[in-house]
Structure 1
Amino acid sequence: MAVWIQAQQLQGDALHQMQSLYGQHFPIEVRHYLAQWIEGQLWDSVELENPQDELKAKRLLDSLVQELQRKAEHQVGEDGFLLKIKLGHYASQLKSTYDRCPLELVRCIKHILHSEQRLVQEANNAVGSGGGGGTMDSLSQRHQQINQTFEELRVSTQETENELRKLQHNQEYFIIQYQENLRIQAQLSSLSAVPAEERTQRETSLQAKRATVEAWLTREANTLQKYRLDLAEKHQKTLSQLRKQQTLILDEELIQWKRRQQLAGNGGPTEGGLDVLQSWCEKLADLIWQNRQQIRRAEHLTQQLPLPGPMEELLTKLNSDITDIISALVTSTFIIEKQPPQVLKTQTKFAATVRLLVGGKLNVHMNPPQVKAVIVSEQQAKALLKNESTRNDSSGEILNNNCVMEYHRTTGTLSAHFRNMSLKRIKRSDRRGAESVTEEKFTVMFESQFSVGGNELVFHVKTLSLPVVVIVHGSQDNNATATVLWDNAFAEPGRVPFVVPDKVLWPQLCEALDMKYKAEMHSARGLCDDNLVFLAQKAFSSASINQEDYRNMTMSWAQFNRESLPGRNFTFWQWFDGVMELMKKHLKPHWNDGAILGFVNKQQAQDMLMSKPNGTFLLRFSDSEIGGITIAWVAENPNKRLVWNLMPYTTKDFSIRSLADRISDLNHLMFLYPDRPKDEVFSKYYTPPLCIFTTPNPEPSSGNPTYMDQAPSPSVAHPINFAIFPPISDPMMDADGEFDLEDTMDVARHVEELLRRPMLCCLWPSSENLY
């Protein structure tokens, strides 16, 4: 109810906008009397484009009707009687209107609530801090400037309308007087049949009258011509202001929205403000069309009464200018509201939504346009933007690629929802140099034809999606995502499709990686400065890089995801993406809890742990394996204290047993770095024990690294097999103290899992843990 309370305090244009949200489709009285209930419902949980959510919408509709009926029943007294009848009528009206299309009710209420929140927020920003004494932020100032310009345009358009009516009235009177002059001339011509004495008297009177009328006509003709020129000049000023306002909205605000939409593909904030843009575009459409109609009426008046002067040329120029403005508005506001997936797999269903931001203002919906989607290559996209014809219209075949635009009267949106498209085949071009198929970019082009003003103007419109990379197998997803991330992060507005810089500053890349990481983790905890230093050291293969060093360093696309890291068979991005995939699938809660340091190399882990008590451990990402995480801990060796590293765990391992349970199994792990008891951190994720595992206690082997399980530290006698690696030279280990041979890792892991299987499993009356 908080939003509604604030919405009632709106004033001026904001109040008018809020009131205009309501009507027969959803009465404002329903919003008022059910404010608390309406704001308490989960309207955003209903996906409007998902037919399966229609049942949810139906339940919300039924609940709304029941709430209205309940509210009506509780009304008493004379005033209450009238309200009871009114609310009961609204309940029946809403049931009748939306019973067959409950998703439209949800669409309507979501639009109302979002619009109210926007209006309230804009009002609060305008007031600022300190009861109106504070300064507004730049966004609010810009929006206020736009709204103020619209008010000026509304006033100037009304003025030209009044001037046009005055001109029309004066011209009509001029024509009447002109006809009177012709009548006088006709009377003078007919005097030849009148006797001379009478003719002289009447001729003198008629000539005097004619002289008076002709003098008036001369003066009035000059006045009309001045009126016409003044009106044309005012139209020129209005059109100039309209063009500036449209440029501000389309070339700045809309471009910024598209940029936010692009960054959202990398995990940036979900792009908002499209309803605000639509409201502006609708106002532009209204004003432009009103001015166009005025110019055409002025043309008609000029044709009715031709007068010498430059008026005809001026009107022709004005007509041409207003048509250009309409054309730019219609073609630029045909946008992709919901982008197709940027990593597009063949033979897989995908969706997209296109929208015309002028809504129903130009009556485009009266002849519902059909939209067609085709996939085109980078070269074809370049040719299209240069208005060059291409021999082949597409580079592939998309199934279910035609859709009719639908007008939703409750929200005023005109859109086409492609729900079941599928890329059947793709035609690839010749690749350059080291470029792989996952670096080749395509785009989905949506095209349609709009008729404006009852087929008076026809526009052929096209819009291109963000670049997409087409894959045929899931194994290509990793590299395709790298191409998309680089393009989304570093593409510049107005570029030639789909040019991106080959090198970028490392801090710019860090910003993109941090955005992506936070989105994958669904957390505000992103990559800290220490994490970014670690990543720089890995990316540039230098352990001596610090935070200050990498501020001016650049990283090329080849370093990012074409060239393998030294001594590895994977790229920097492949390693980083493997980390995100592991975290997203299995370790997200632990990252958000702060339990995983992750971005720590082996030497750093050793330095951090050596000063801590025995049993202190930390979790770090594996250097040698994609998507691996290892446990490093400090323990007492018979000779000296050592930091031990466990063989990396991967998604495969955590699919068998969770990280928390594995840490619980290892009794020698006692404190999560720096000093938190492990149960305090991980116990809430432990799986409740259902059975007891007993395993034999083999004697420790000698020579090679000891395999231990559930031992407090490597120095405890009678250890059970468990894979740990002391920092000593061993032919089976790599330089990081981790197994580098895939077969060896598989065998070691298999042994570890085998030892965790119950040799004897039974249910015990007590829950005593015999690990």
Structure 2
Amino acid sequence: MAQWTQISQMLHRLPDDTIINLYPPSTFPIEIRHFLAEWIESQRWDIFVPENVEQTSLAQDRLDQTISMLQLVAQQNNVVDRMKLMQISKNMDMFQQEPLQFAVMVRDMLTKEMVLLNTPAQMPNPPQFQQYPNRESLFPNTPDVDHLVLKVIEVQDIRQKMHQLQEELNWERQNYEGLQGSIPQNGLDQTQSEIQKLQNHIQQLEYNVKTMAKKRFQLLKECVDCLDQCQTRLISRLKEWRWEQHKATIGHPFDESLNLLQTRCEQLLGVNGKLRQELMLMGKPMPELQERLGKLLQVLIQSSLVVDRQPPQVIKTQSKFSTTVRYLLGEKVAPGKPVVLKAQIINELQARNLASVSGDNVGELINNTAILEHNTSSKSTCATFRNMSIKKIKRADRKGSESVTEEKFALLFSTEITITGCDTPYRIQMISLPLVVIVHGSQDHNALATIIWDCAFSEPDRVPFMVSERVPWRMMYSTLNSKFTSEVSTLHNLDSYNQHFLAQKIFDKPDFNDDFSNIMVTWAQFNKEVLPGRPFTFWQWFEGVMELTKRHLREYWSAGLIFGFIGKQHLHLILKDRPNGTFLLRFSDSEIGGITIAYVDASENGGQKIQNIQPFTKRDLEIRSLGDRIRDINHITYLYPEFPKHDVFRKFFTEPQALHTGGYIPVSLQTKVGTEASSDIPLPESPHSVGGFTTSSEAMDLDIDKILESLNQ
């Protein structure tokens, strides 16, 4: 709760109106922020978008968790705080109809806090938040840019004062010459006195002009130095934005807005133009400063091209895809000839030497040009490639066992652009994130593995597209957790038990109970070598689980009802002393994309045994939901450790629908396990009954076609 610690220390300096606006008493009282600080900051709120109604269920889970946490904290405090928190938790029921509104409100609150923390300490009375809907408009200038702008204004002011002094000096010199011409030969003391005063004044003016000229030159140099520093920071921030965009592939939070960076680019371009004007008005050449400003201008113009919406990082040939390139100095583009961006596909070798990339592609791109167009409402200038496709690809010679799904390409976007106020057109270009080109859908999983590894373990400013072949397990696990929670759209992370089992699986060390954190995991272990006794790799298996959870189990997982990744040894350890009927849900480790129910059952000798029901796959859960299957199975009664299944799974049960049979005998679908299935109808022994584990079998009551189909197998 580092953020709350910092915010709470500065609350006493904020106006009451700002605090009330930040923590509205009627919707999000400050007590919630205080008592739930650590929990709030440990969750991901940045993923919520008001328009995304698909997030409603996830937002509902978050709202329910917040209310439950408040009630729990209330019981742990004194009677005053307890009553206050209980009332707040009750008031939060107002969001039950609009849970997404609550999640977005918390997201915005955390963003506003970050804005406050980044506000210069000397700024009195920060503006009210309701006047500024986002961070960019709240603080459009960083202190360094403000300082630079003030310096430029000072240079302009000195120039104007010098001009006035020079005019006065010219006038006084004219007066001086006139007085000298009017002096009689015998001279007059009064005239001589006036000439002397005028001469002194002229000398003072000349001294002032020289002094101001020196100051003007010094300020100009300081302005160029400051501009260099500001631009260096800006370009560094642009690189950070691209890096964050790269990491977003594996689920890292990413603020995709470019508005603030665009404002910075425009400000620095304006400052550069003003400084170049001031140099031209100096009256004498300043080659060093002029050259520096020219280089800064070139770098800024060339660095302002950004791939705003990346192309898919796995692209199948002959398939349409889109991408958007944005130019942050779009409003400064010289009017006239349209600016056309061209895209070409390049390989890894070409990406390492962009300066030498020719017009020839290593693949043929269809619809590879787009016009840079300005949107007045969003104030953005973008070129959108809407129907691009890769017709064919030329692959490099592969080394050893390298497959086509390990070869990385990129799209290179380029154009020639002229900026208003600049005589010379500039050649600008930018490459996309790495991508893998496939020719068949069966290659998709392995191609995605290449992208995941690249996004997770590459270094900033690397040589394209180099990435380590081995990383510590702690980094691998962090990536798996981040990708899993992001893909599933959940706040429920993988726990330490899941982490340990995943490590045991990828390293094939089921009996290893020490810390795996620093053991190195290789690319081959991740997605080249098949798991022992299995026909698939670790990544193929993990992705299958992730996809199943995303499609059918997200709510169960988010509610903490699925134990997830657990080995059989650990499974027996935690269930061995539990009553018969105790069960837990775990992901199958023997097939891709399956979830199984492990439960305690009575053995033949009066003891206990652990049974594992045949895994339910995507197809099974499309036929009947997990909740209904759990309700069907009488063998299981308590979710580990001791939650009655009808209490925790009730909201997942499907209510019986009114039957409109039209004269037919109604049928129903029900899950039967082991002997249950064979006791209703005489079915042959299931081919899946192996290893002592019971299996699941679908039976439809009074469905003759189903019976005949089973008998004919």
Tell me what 2:44 maps to: none
Gaps of 5+ in 2: 1-13, 19-47, 54-106, 127-134, 660-665, 706-713
Aligned in 2, Cα 1:211/1:603: closer, same or farther, shift over 3 Å? same
Alignment of 1:480 onto 2:447: yes
Tell me what 2:344 maps to: 374
AA matched with 1:377: N
Pairs within 5 Å for 1:703-718: 707-709=674-676
Q: Provide the C-alpha distance between the structure 2 equivalents of 1:233 and 1:684, rounded to a whole number of angstroms.
A: 73
- Once the two structures are TM-superposed, the CA of residue 294 in structure 1 deviates from its matched residue by 1.5
Aligned in 2, Cα 1:180/1:476: closer, same or farther, shift over 3 Å? farther
* Cα deviations by residue, 1:622-664 (Å, 9 ceiling, x for unpaired): 2221112222222113323221222222222223322223223
Alignment of 1:45 onto 2:56: no
- Once the two structures are TM-superposed, the CA of residue 431 in structure 1 deviates from its matched residue by 1.4
AA matched with 1:297: L
Tell me what 1:759 maps to: 703
Alignment of 1:247 onto 2:204: no
Contact 1:334–1:463 under 8 Å retained in 2: yes
- Once the two structures are TM-superposed, the CA of residue 443 in structure 1 deviates from its matched residue by 0.8
Q: Provide the C-alpha distance between the structure 2 equivalents of 1:115 and 1:328, rounded to a whole number of angstroms.
A: 35
Q: Provide the C-alpha distance between the structure 1 equivalents of 2:449 and 2:471, rounded to a whole number of angstroms.
A: 14
Alignment of 1:163 onto 2:163: no
* Cα deviations by residue, 1:661-683 (Å, 9 ceiling, x for unpaired): 32233222222222222222333
Q: Match of 1:643, SS?
A: strand
AA matched with 1:284: L
User: Which stretch has the larger CA shift, 522-531 or 536-545?
Assistant: 536-545
- Once the two structures are TM-superposed, the CA of residue 213 in structure 1 deviates from its matched residue by 10
Pairs within 5 Å for 1:316-327: 316-327=287-298
Match of 1:416 among 383, 386, 402: 383
Aligned in 2, Cα 1:7/1:439: closer, same or farther, shift over 3 Å? farther
AA matched with 1:122: V
* Cα deviations by residue, 1:447-493 (Å, 9 ceiling, x for unpaired): 12221224523221111111111112221111111111111111211
Q: Provide the C-alpha distance between the structure 2 equivalents of 1:174 and 1:116, rounded to a whole number of angstroms.
A: 60
User: Which stretch has the larger CA shift, 478-487 or 219-228?
Assistant: 219-228
* Cα deviations by residue, 1:345-388 (Å, 9 ceiling, x for unpaired): 2222222222222342x34566552222221111111110xx2x
- Once the two structures are TM-superposed, the CA of residue 441 in structure 1 deviates from its matched residue by 0.6
User: Which stretch has the larger CA shift, 415-424 or 174-183?
Assistant: 174-183
- Once the two structures are TM-superposed, the CA of residue 258 in structure 1 deviates from its matched residue by 1.8
Contact 2:220–2:275 under 8 Å retained in 1: yes
- Once the two structures are TM-superposed, the CA of residue 117 in structure 1 deviates from its matched residue by 10
Aligned in 2, Cα 1:263/1:329: closer, same or farther, shift over 3 Å? same
Q: Match of 1:484, SS?
A: helix
Q: Match of 1:265, SS?
A: helix
Tell me what 1:236 maps to: 221
Pairs within 5 Å for 1:671-686: 671-686=638-653
Tell me what 1:383 maps to: 353
Aligned in 2, Cα 1:171/1:383: closer, same or farther, shift over 3 Å? same
Pairs within 5 Å for 1:254-653: 254-298=238-282, 301-302=283-284, 312=285, 315-360=286-331, 362-364=332-334, 368-384=338-354, 387=355, 389-391=356-358, 393-546=360-513, 549-639=515-605, 640-653=607-620
Aligned in 2, Cα 1:391/1:420: closer, same or farther, shift over 3 Å? closer
Q: Provide the C-alpha distance between the structure 1 equivalents of 2:353 and 2:557, rounded to a whole number of angstroms.
A: 47
AA matched with 1:381: A
Gaps of 5+ in 1: 1-5, 11-41, 48-113, 134-139, 189-197, 303-311, 698-705, 712-716, 740-747, 762-771
Q: Match of 1:552, SS?
A: coil
Tell me what 1:147 maps to: 142
Match of 1:662 among 601, 624, 629: 629
Q: Provide the C-alpha distance between the structure 2 equivalents of 1:399 and 1:512, rounded to a whole number of angstroms.
A: 35
- Once the two structures are TM-superposed, the CA of residue 334 in structure 1 deviates from its matched residue by 1.2
Q: Provide the C-alpha distance between the structure 2 equivalents of 1:228 and 1:115, rounded to a whole number of angstroms.
A: 50
Q: Match of 1:244, SS?
A: helix
User: Which stretch has the larger CA shift, 602-611 or 557-566?
Assistant: 602-611
TM-score by length of 2: 0.73
Tell me what 2:3 maps to: none
- Once the two structures are TM-superposed, the CA of residue 333 in structure 1 deviates from its matched residue by 2.0
- Once the two structures are TM-superposed, the CA of residue 145 in structure 1 deviates from its matched residue by 13
TM-score by length of 1: 0.67
Aligned in 2, Cα 1:247/1:462: closer, same or farther, shift over 3 Å? same
Aligned in 2, Cα 1:624/1:121: closer, same or farther, shift over 3 Å? closer
Pairs within 5 Å for 1:100-139: 122-123=115-116, 126=119
Q: Provide the C-alpha distance between the structure 2 equivalents of 1:694 and 1:236, rounded to a whole number of angstroms.
A: 82
Contact 2:366–2:391 under 8 Å retained in 1: yes
Contact 1:533–1:545 under 8 Å retained in 2: no
- Once the two structures are TM-superposed, the CA of residue 209 in structure 1 deviates from its matched residue by 12
Aligned in 2, Cα 1:567/1:672: closer, same or farther, shift over 3 Å? same
Q: Provide the C-alpha distance between the structure 2 equivalents of 1:687 and 1:660, rounded to a whole number of angstroms.
A: 8
Contact 1:167–1:224 under 8 Å retained in 2: yes
User: Which stretch has the larger CA shift, 341-350 or 209-218?
Assistant: 209-218
Contact 2:140–2:263 under 8 Å retained in 1: no
Contact 2:540–2:592 under 8 Å retained in 1: yes
Contact 2:333–2:417 under 8 Å retained in 1: no
Contact 1:365–1:414 under 8 Å retained in 2: no
Q: Match of 1:598, SS?
A: coil
- Once the two structures are TM-superposed, the CA of residue 212 in structure 1 deviates from its matched residue by 11
How many residues are treated as equivalent by the alignment? 587
- Once the two structures are TM-superposed, the CA of residue 540 in structure 1 deviates from its matched residue by 0.8
User: Which stretch has the larger CA shift, 206-215 or 635-644?
Assistant: 206-215
Q: Match of 1:560, SS?
A: helix
Aligned in 2, Cα 1:214/1:723: closer, same or farther, shift over 3 Å? farther
* Cα deviations by residue, 1:74-104 (Å, 9 ceiling, x for unpaired): xxxxxxxxxxxxxxxxxxxxxxxxxxxxxxx
AA matched with 2:298: S
Tell me what 1:109 maps to: none
Aligned in 2, Cα 1:460/1:718: closer, same or farther, shift over 3 Å? closer
Contact 1:647–1:724 under 8 Å retained in 2: no
Aligned in 2, Cα 1:8/1:176: closer, same or farther, shift over 3 Å? farther
- Once the two structures are TM-superposed, the CA of residue 391 in structure 1 deviates from its matched residue by 4.6
- Once the two structures are TM-superposed, the CA of residue 531 in structure 1 deviates from its matched residue by 0.6
Q: Match of 1:594, SS?
A: coil
Q: Provide the C-alpha distance between the structure 2 equivalents of 1:722 and 1:599, rounded to a whole number of angstroms.
A: 33
- Once the two structures are TM-superposed, the CA of residue 7 in structure 1 deviates from its matched residue by 13
- Once the two structures are TM-superposed, the CA of residue 513 in structure 1 deviates from its matched residue by 0.6
Aligned in 2, Cα 1:394/1:529: closer, same or farther, shift over 3 Å? same
- Percent sequence identity over aligned pairs: 35
Q: Provide the C-alpha distance between the structure 1 equivalents of 2:259 and 2:272, rounded to a whole number of angstroms.
A: 20
